[in-house]
């Protein structure tokens, strides 16, 4: 009798980890100067924004993992 191991798939909440990577690897989207925010070109403030948003994308994963 063959015993098949149950394949366990990761929970969909782990997809939140991929969001910042996809946003930062899609360079043609943010490879521009306009619009500026307080004199800072879009290229730079988009990356700074994703520093904060990336940390916020980790929160649901952390809450799921350590609940």
Angle between helices 42-65 and 18-25 (to 10 degrees): 160
pTM for this predicted structure: 0.73
**In the chain, where the domains are located:** 25-65
d(CA 59, CA 62): 5
pLDDT tens digits, one per residue of 37-52:
899 998 999 999 999 9
Structure tokens at 37: 């925010």
Segment 6-37, tens digit of pLDDT: 668 888 899 999 999 999 898 888 888 889 88
Residue 64 contacts residue 17 (beta carbons within 8 Å): no
């Amino acid at each position: 009798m063959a015993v098949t191991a149950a394949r366990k798939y990761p929970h969909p909440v782990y997809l939140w980890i991929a969001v910042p990577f996809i946003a930062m690897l899609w360079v043609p989207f943010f490879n521009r100067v306009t619009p500026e925010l307080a004199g800072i070109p879009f290229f730079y403030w988009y990356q700074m924004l994703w520093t904060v948003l990336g940390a916020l994308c980790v929160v649901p994963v952390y809450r799921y993992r350590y609940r």
